[in-house]
């Protein structure tokens, strides 16, 4: 049976797509391998949002092809996902024989069969497919392996916002949502397999179902979905990514707190703090409106974590525009901010705008802003020391496998002395110390049963 290596570049949506592809291939009898050097099939699922991601994937593929050539092997090499969608045919040359776009992940198994059996030499499949939003469904959960505590659930595909810098509407297509019952069934199935926390995924989740489910009692389709998922017994936490600020209407802000499983974390991609640049970006909000949302969220819950994405060096960004972004970061006191250097993307309106900044200018602003936002964020971590927080224990710490890690409701990693008995349980942890982006704590033994509601048979006996 073919041995398949899959590597993912990019966001959680890409990770989720790769997981569904891996599950599909395993169901067909393929084996997943962790090392590409002996694989029969090497698939790179690639991001297009910034040039750097594309260059990394292209570099990796040529390295893989070079090694295979030296070994005298001819594995099937393929690109999947956003870069495959935007570049299509131009990628399918030499040893790259498979190019599969964002609406065709579920066809990869049959395409690989055709290639491996020699029925086809190259396949490029980047067409649109009606209903493809419902094909990212299968999960890789090994019933014999350690319990899967968290899972990602794709609720929609595409984006209609057309921010002028962004390639996603071109690579992912127009907004298409899955029906609520289908999503709820998937969540229920995951919970039945041990999952306690789901992250609802889409390019613009706050626009979920706009055309399919009319506003009901002042509640948007997305809030209706949150309510339906919230009903799933045994589910403890709901996260979402990625929303758009324009989606934070009163109904969604009210849902924080009203729906106890919806965690106190709002990702609110800002992109710029300058109204002039926001208009050029076609973001659909002003600086004031944005700050108003942050204020209402924090009023709803004082500890609401607000995180963001920012682009520095958008065409025409002046020092004044940039200073507006810096000052907004101070006002909003972001719990975490991802700062990106503007990257020109093909066929986007921003790529054709005048006054593109030099790389050096972008680098310099990027470094300056990063220092500021990291200072603000690490202060917020330090504020947690001495508090008792609820965490969901996920598994061995990625940094230090001899310890365990979990996350707070507001999405901070907490490392603690733990073991497999803790996995999948809610614990109360006293925070002892903080580093820039990690908390360290001690579980409160008596607190375990207070927050533990699952009644599962493998509950830790910590008394
Ligand atoms: N809602 C989407 C956002 C797209 S990409 C999602 O999460 O799928 C994530 C982030 O990448 C954006 O919020 C933006 O900050 C950044 N980004 C998008 N296009 C970019 C570009 N051309 N250059 C630099 N950063 C970009
Ligand atoms: Fe991209 Fe803007 Fe949509 S950043 S994914 S076009 S909301």
Q: Mind listing the pLDDT tens digit for each residue in 138-148? A: 999 888 888 99
Q: Which ligand is nearest to the CA of 50?
A: 1
Q: Residue 309: nearest ligand to its CA?
A: 1
Query: Which amino acid residue places its CA nearest to atom 15 of ligand 1?
Result: 309
Atom nearest to 172 CA in ligand 2: 5
Beta bridge partners of 255: none
For residues 395 and 39, give the distance between their C-alpha atoms in angstroms, rounded to a whole number: 29
> How many angstroms is it from 107 CA to the middle of ligand 2?
26
Name the one residue in this structure whose structure tokens are 């990690």.
438
pLDDT band for position 116 (cuts 50, 70, 90): very high
Supply the residue whose CA is at minimum distance from atom 1 of ligand 2: 166
pLDDT in tens, 440-453: 999 986 444 444 44
For the beta sheet containing 150-154, the strands, ordered from the edge strand earlier in sequence to the opposite edge, are: 150-154, 197-201, 237-241
Name the pLDDT band for 456 (thresholds 50, 70, 90).
very low
Q: According to the model, what pLDDT value does residue 142 have?
A: 86
Contact 231, 261 (CB under 8 A): no
- Quickly list DSSP for 130-187: TTGGG--------TTSSPP-EEEEE-EE------TT--HHHHH-S-EE--HHHHHHHH
* DSSP string across 390-425: EEEEEEE-SS-TTSEEEEETTS-EEEES--GGGTT-
CA of 164 to the centre of ligand 2 (A): 9
The pair of three-digit structure tokens given for residue 167, joined into one six-digit string: 């390639």
Is the model's pLDDT at 324 over the cut of 90? yes
Q: What's the pLDDT score for residue 415?
A: 97
Beta-strand pair 426-435/438-443: antiparallel
Pocket of ligand 1 (CB under 6 A): 11, 13, 49-50, 165-166, 168, 203-204, 242, 269, 271, 309, 311, 340, 342-343, 345
- Choose one of 340, 349, 370, 373 to mutate for the ligand 1 pocket test, by most ligand atoms within 8 angstroms of C-beta: 340
Tens digit of each residue's pLDDT (9 = 90 or more) over 347-362: 999 999 999 999 999 9
Ligand 2 mutation target, pool 14, 168, 174, 271, most atoms within 8 A of CB = 168
Q: How confident is the model at residue 304 (pLDDT cuts 50, 70, 90)?
A: very high
Instruction: Write the DSSP assignment of 211-231 as a string of letters.
Output: TTS--BTTB-HHHHHHHHHHT
Per-residue 3-state assignment (H helix, E strand, C coil) for 303-367: CCEEEEEEEECCCCCCHHHHHHHHHHHHHHCCCEEEEEECCCCCCCHHHHCCCCCCHHHHHHHHH
Q: Find out whether 428 and 401 touch, Cβ atoms under 8 Å.
A: no
166 pocket-lining for ligand 2 (C-beta < 6 Å): yes
pLDDT digits (tens, 9 = 90+) for 93-103: 889 999 999 99
Distances (CA, A) of 457 to 429, 452, 454: 22, 12, 9
The model carries a pTM of 0.93
Assess whether the C-beta atom of 18 lies below 6 angstroms from ligand 2.
no
Range scoring the smallest mean pLDDT among 81-95, 216-230, 309-323, 363-377: 81-95
| pLDDT tens figures, 419-448 | 999 999 999 999 999 998 999 999 986 444
**Distance, first Cα to last Cα, the chain:** 49
Distance CA 196, CA 192 (A): 9
pLDDT at 115: 96
| pLDDT band at 10; cut points 50, 70, 90 | confident
pLDDT of residue 446: 46
Nearest Cα to Cα of residue 340 among 301, 366, 375, 364: 366
What angle, rounded to 10 degrees, do the helices at 108-116 and 12-27 form? Answer: 60
pLDDT above 70: percentage of residues in the chain? 96
CA of 422 to the centre of ligand 1 (A): 36
Ligand nearest to the CA of 14: 1
* Residue nearest atom 7 in ligand 2 by C-alpha distance: 161
Rounded mean pLDDT, 365-375 = 97
User: Residue 130 pairs with which residues in a beta bridge?
Assistant: none
Secondary structure (3-state) at 53? helix
Peptide bond into 242 cis (omega under 30): yes
At 459, the pLDDT band (50, 70, 90 cuts) reads: very low
pLDDT score, position 444 = 87
What are residue 244's DSSP bridge partners? none
Residue 461 CA, chain-centre distance (Å), reads 34
What integer pLDDT is reported at residue 458 of this predicted model?
39
Report how far ligand 2's centroid is from the alpha carbon of 166 (Å). 6
Q: 212 alpha carbon to ligand 1 midpoint, in Å?
A: 26
User: How high is the pLDDT of residue 263?
Assistant: 98
Residue 315 has pLDDT above 80, yes or no: yes
pLDDT at 404 over 80: yes
388: β partners: 430
Does residue 455 have a pLDDT over 60? no
pLDDT averaged over every residue in the chain:
93
Task: Locate 231 and state its tokens.
Answer: 């009903």
How far is Cα 168 from Cα 156, in angstroms, rounded to an integer? 13
The β-bridge partners of 428 are 390
Of 256 and 463, the structure prediction assigns the larger pLDDT to: 256
d(CA 401, CA 338): 26
| The pLDDT of residue 94 | 86
Q: How many residues does the chain have?
A: 463
* Per-residue model confidence (pLDDT) at position 93: 86
Per the structure block, which two tokens stand in for 427?
């614990």
Ligand 1 atom closest to the Cα of residue 167 is 19
Cα of 205 vs centre of ligand 2, distance in Å, is 11
Q: Name which residue sits closest to atom 3 of ligand 1, judged by CA.
A: 203
pLDDT for residue 450:
41
What distance in Å separates the CA atoms of residue 67 and residue 232, rounded to the nearest whole number?
A: 49
CB 99 within 8 A of CB 108: no
């Amino acid at each position: 049976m073919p041995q398949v290596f899959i590597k993912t570049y990019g966001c959680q949506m890409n990770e989720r797509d790769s997981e569904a592809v891996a599950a599909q291939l395993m169901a067909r009898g393929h084996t997943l391998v962790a090392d590409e050097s002996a694989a029969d099939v090497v698939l790179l699922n690639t991001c297009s949002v910034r040039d750097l991601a594309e260059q990394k994937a292209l570099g990796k593929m040529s390295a893989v092809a070079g090694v295979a050539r030296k070994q005298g092997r001819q594995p099937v090499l393929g690109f999947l996902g956003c870069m495959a969608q935007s570049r299509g045919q131009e990628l399918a040359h030499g040893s790259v024989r498979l190019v599969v776009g964002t609406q065709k992940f579920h066809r990869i198994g049959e395409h690989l069969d055709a290639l491996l059996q020699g029925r086809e030499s190259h396949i490029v499949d980047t067409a649109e497919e009606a209903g493809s939003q419902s094909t990212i469904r299968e999960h890789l959960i090994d019933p014999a392996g350690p319990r899967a505590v968290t899972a990602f659930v794709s609720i929609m595909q595409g984006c209609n916002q057309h921010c002028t810098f962004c390639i996603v509407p071109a690579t992912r297509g127009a907004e298409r949502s899955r029906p609520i019952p289908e999503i709820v069934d998937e969540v229920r199935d995951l919970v039945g397999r041990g999952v306690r926390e789901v992250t609802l995924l889409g390019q613009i989740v706050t626009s979920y179902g706009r055309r399919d489910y009319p506003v009901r009692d002042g509640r948007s389709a997305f809030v209706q979905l949150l309510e339906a998922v919230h009903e799933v017994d045994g589910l403890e936490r709901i996260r979402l990514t990625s929303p758009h600020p324009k989606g934070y209407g009163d109904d969604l802000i009210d849902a924080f707190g009203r729906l106890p499983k919806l965690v106190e974390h709002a990702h609110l991609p800002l992109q710029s703090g300058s109204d002039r640049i926001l208009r050029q970006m076609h973001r659909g909000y002003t600086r004031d409106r944005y700050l108003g949302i942050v204020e209402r969220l924090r009023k709803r819950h004082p500890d609401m974590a607000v995180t963001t994405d920012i682009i520095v060096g958008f065409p025409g960004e002046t020092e004044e525009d940039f200073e507006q972004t810096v000052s907004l970061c101070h006002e909003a006191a972001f719990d975490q901010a991802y700062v990106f250097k503007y990257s020109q993307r093909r066929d986007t309106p921003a790529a054709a705008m005048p006054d593109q900044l030099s790389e050096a200018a972008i680098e310099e602003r990027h470094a300056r802003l990063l220092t500021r936002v990291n200072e603000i964020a690490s202060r917020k971590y330090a504020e947690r020391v001495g508090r008792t927080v609820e965490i969901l224990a996920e598994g061995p710490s990625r940094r230090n496998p001899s310890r365990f890690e979990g996350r707070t409701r507001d999405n901070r990693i907490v490392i603690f002395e733990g073991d497999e008995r803790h996995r999948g349980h809610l614990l109360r942890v006293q925070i002892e110390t903080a580093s820039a982006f990690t908390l360290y704590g001690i579980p409160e033994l008596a607190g375990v049963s207070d927050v533990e509601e699952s009644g599962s048979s493998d509950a830790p006996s910590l008394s």
